[in-house]
Amino acid sequence: MEEQQDRIAGFLPEWLPPGAAIVTALAIGSTVMLLAGAARQTPNEKTMWTFARPHYLMYEPRIAAWNKSGRTPFDLRLLSLPAMERRMMASFLGDVPSADVLEVERRGVSRTFGGPVESVGFYDLTDKLKEEGLLEAINAPSFSPWTTRGHIFGLPHDVHPVMLGYRADLVEAAGIDVSKIETWEDFFREMKPLMADNDKDGKPDRFLLNMWETNQDHLEVLLLQAGGGFFDEQERPTLDSAINVRVLATITTWLAGPARVAADAPNFTAAGNKLKADGYVVSSFFPDWMGDIWKHEIPSLGGKMKLMPLPAWEKGGRRTSVWGGTMLGIPKTAVRTPKDFDVLWEFCKELYISDQFMRDLYREGGIVTPVKKYWSDPIFDEPNAFFSGQPAGRLYINLAPLVPNRNSSPYNTFAMYRTVDALVKLAEEARATGKYDMPTLESRAKVYLGEAQRQVENVLKRNVFLSGGAS
């Protein structure tokens, strides 16, 4: 047990306080012991874990059909995301079995990439994907979250292009023509009439964009769209890049000062849903999965919403981004013989690459497939009542090849929070000083992002596998 805990401690984040690291190592070690003592229900049965209840409900009938076909049976289990990540890491670091197939969210997967490539707990799928032509068959950017140092460890579930969902009823009643919008500057100029103070209370009746400085997802969407982010292709931190400086300075003018155009209507909350239903914000970021959430949580907006591509940062620029992502991976501990891999691989392909899954994924979740041969399917041209009859699937498919690549660094979340810190400091300083001109904001953004860059560099240089000390 002590040997396992020492090994586990070596993979914990360097920035974790010593006391917390000890507690975490003990917790993971205890889970390792529990997993080591767990037995399968039947000798031949395989298991799959997922963290998403909608996915679980979608997969249940399909796995039941698989089991009835006489092939190796699978037992599908639903775990909370934290529980699944703890069990996954305990298994990988303790060399004991977990599930045979794991459906994992992007940030959980990146945690497994902190050591040498050969120590990643997932089976390396790179050669198999090449051999079967799947690298060409699947949307290339969809592989990026599951790739580290040129090796791919997961089969992509999705693309998740991002558009703007906007209150078409308000926009069209005001006579605004969204076809005139290409850039963010165009967007705020054309939409400005919707911020009139008709009730004479000294405040705008509504704001144009749902965003606030503490929302890390929205910030990452905008940074990636602009060509920025937290790491380059060699996994070197780039928090203080010129692109990031410009984006943070610009966003600050959206969030604060006399030209403020954005406000917070928190996602996934009753209070936020009420603000959206009341028209407090005109538009929100909409990855393909968001429409299904609004349809169930804010049904009163059905037929009042429409989609449009994200306004670009400059004319001719990218008009989409990406938010979220899931993969299907095979733990190394599940592959004892080549036959084991063959069974698991066929199951993964049946679940993710079949035409029936493509239709289920879109009909039940609004999610477009990364498998390119299905993009011409007429299902994506069906009118979507929630989006005022627009063919939402086709709009997302048109943007799918344009989504930006993402870095899979295990320090991505740490870097993201440090960048959020920089934006918070910048916005607070601007409100305190009343200085909202771009030269001042860019100068101060460079300072705060420089501090964030140094924090990430200091953490990263302790990891010899990701700082240039090893390949």
Q: What is the pLDDT averaged over residues 193-211?
A: 90
pLDDT band at 233 (very low <50, low <70, confident <90, very high): confident
pLDDT band at 138 (very low <50, low <70, confident <90, very high): very high
Q: Are 159 and 288 in contact (CB under 8 A)?
A: yes
Residues with Cβ < 8 Å from 99, sequence gap 6 or more? 47, 48, 49, 77, 331, 334
**Domains of the chain (ranges, CATH numbers):** 2-156+324-352 (3.40.190.10), 162-322+405-460 (3.40.190.10)
Strand 46-50 to 74-78 pairing: parallel
pLDDT given for residue 97 in this prediction: 78
Q: Are 76 and 99 in contact (CB under 8 A)?
A: no
Mean pLDDT of the chain: 90
- Beta bridge partners, 263, equal 210
pLDDT at 33 over 50: no
pLDDT band at 12 (very low <50, low <70, confident <90, very high): very low
Q: What is the pLDDT averaged over residues 265-280?
A: 96
Which has the higher per-residue pLDDT, 424 or 200? Answer: 424
User: How does pLDDT run across 81-119, given as a tens digit for each residue?
Assistant: 999 999 999 999 887 778 999 999 999 999 999 889 999
Instruction: Work out the percent of the chain whose per-residue pLDDT is above 90.
Output: 83
Its pTM stands at 0.89
What is the rounded distance in angstroms from the CA atom of residue 183 to the CA atom of residue 192? 14
Residue of 15, 17, 1, 81 lying closest to 49 (CA atoms): 81
For residue 379, what is the DSSP state? G
Residue of 40, 14, 39, 9 lying closest to 26 (CA atoms): 9
Q: Are 274 and 448 in contact (CB under 8 A)?
A: no
pLDDT band at 14 (very low <50, low <70, confident <90, very high): very low
pLDDT given for residue 32 in this prediction: 42
Helix (H, G, I), strand (E, B) or coil at 329: strand
Residue of 175, 196, 163 lying closest to 279 (CA atoms): 196
pLDDT given for residue 466 in this prediction: 67
User: How does pLDDT run across 305-324, given as a tens digit for each residue?
Assistant: 999 999 999 999 999 999 99
For residue 107, what is the DSSP state? H
Q: What is the pLDDT averaged over residues 171-177?
A: 97
User: How does pLDDT run across 408-435, given as a tens digit for each residue?
Assistant: 999 999 999 999 999 999 999 999 999 9
Which has the higher per-residue pLDDT, 464 or 361? Answer: 361
pLDDT at 226 over 90: yes
For residue 239, what is the DSSP state? T
pLDDT at 364 over 70: yes
pLDDT band at 203 (very low <50, low <70, confident <90, very high): confident
Q: Is the backbone of residue 202 left (phi > 0), alpha (psi -120 to 50) or beta?
A: left
User: Looking at 84-88, 131-135, 220-224, 324-328, which range is the least confident one?
Assistant: 84-88
Residue of 443, 453, 452, 407 lying closest to 143 (CA atoms): 407
Q: What is the pLDDT averaged over residues 439-454?
A: 98
| End-to-end Cα spacing for the chain | 30
Q: Are 395 and 286 in contact (CB under 8 A)?
A: no
Residues with Cβ < 8 Å from 22, sequence gap 6 or more? 9
166 CB burial (10 A radius; 0-12, 13-18, 19+): buried
User: How does pLDDT run across 49-83, given as a tens digit for each residue?
Assistant: 999 999 999 999 999 999 999 999 999 999 999 99
